[in-house]
Amino acid sequence: MMTKTALVTGAASGLGYELAFLLIKDGFDLILVDKDAPKLKEVKQLFKEFKNEVKLLTKDLSKPNIAQEIYDEVKLPIDVLVNNAGFGLFGTFANTDWKRESDMLHLHVLTTTHLTKLVLPEMISRKSGRILNISSLAAFQPGPLMSMYYASKSYILSFSEAIANELKGTGVTVTALCPGPTKTLFQETVSSDCSENKISFNMACPVAVALYGYNAMKKGKTVAIPGAFNKFLSTIPRFVPRNMATRIVRNIQEKNRGE
């Protein structure tokens, strides 16, 4: 029986690492992609107890056409694709750095979409495959002071739901994992002067979030929101005016990341 292969982006830490661990524990060979070469090597060392192959690709996933570069280097059928890599940026849109925002859009939108586009035809031809796209609770409403992050995560959710519908009956599934705040290194990249949330009552454990998303992916669930409180929060925009939901998000962001 041939070993199956999983490709995980942003695999050097946080949810990417936890999802890679679950995959190798389930017997998958791994292709781990991240721009942090030293941490990728650490991950490979941590996985040495497993007999499966672990291939490392040091790539900046925010660069144009990086998905094609990765796909060309891999030269293997991908049975599971985990589009996990991402980062946030805090501040008013008029004042945030465009280069950073452009990198975010390339990463969250173009790289995620293109990698999915590249692996799907082979999955469909084999009548088997799983794609897990990491969206966010942020996907369900506009997000003042993190406008580009919220918008890009909304794209990932909408894109995932649409193609999941298109793929019904093919044996291939797409799952969008939409966690709330999770205790990972993500917070350190949001802004240089604020490395962690000030509001932490709803902070989730990455191990639990990864396991929830992994099980949802295996079941072929389209949208996975870990935690009862997060599920409740995701429904609020349906029941209150959008401008009110937007004001609530801004208030939370100001308390969470303000001085």
Distance (Å, rounded) from C-alpha 142 to C-alpha 149? Answer: 9
Distance (Å, rounded) from C-alpha 145 to C-alpha 91? Answer: 5
Following DSSP, what letter does each residue of the chain receive, concatenated? -PPPEEEEESTTSHHHHHHHHHHHHTT-EEEEEES-HHHHHHHHHHTTTS-S-EEEEE--TTSTTHHHHHHHHH-S--SEEEE-------S-TTTS-HHHHHHHHIIIIIIHHHHHHHHHHHHHHHT-EEEEEE--GGGGS--TTSHHHHHHHHHHHHHHHHHHHHTTTTTEEEEEE---SBSSTHHHHHBTTB-S-S--TTPBPHHHHHHHHHHHHHHT-SEE--SHHHHHHHHHHHHS-HHHHHHHHHHHHHHHH--
Name beta bridge partners: 176.
133, 223
Residue in 17, 71, 149, 150 annotated catalytic: 149
Among left, alpha and beta (phi > 0; psi -120 to 50; other), residue 10 is left
Q: State the sign of the Cα–Cα–Cα–Cα dihedral 97, 98, 101, 107.
A: negative
Let me know if 17 is a catalytic residue: no
User: Catalytic site residues?
Assistant: 149
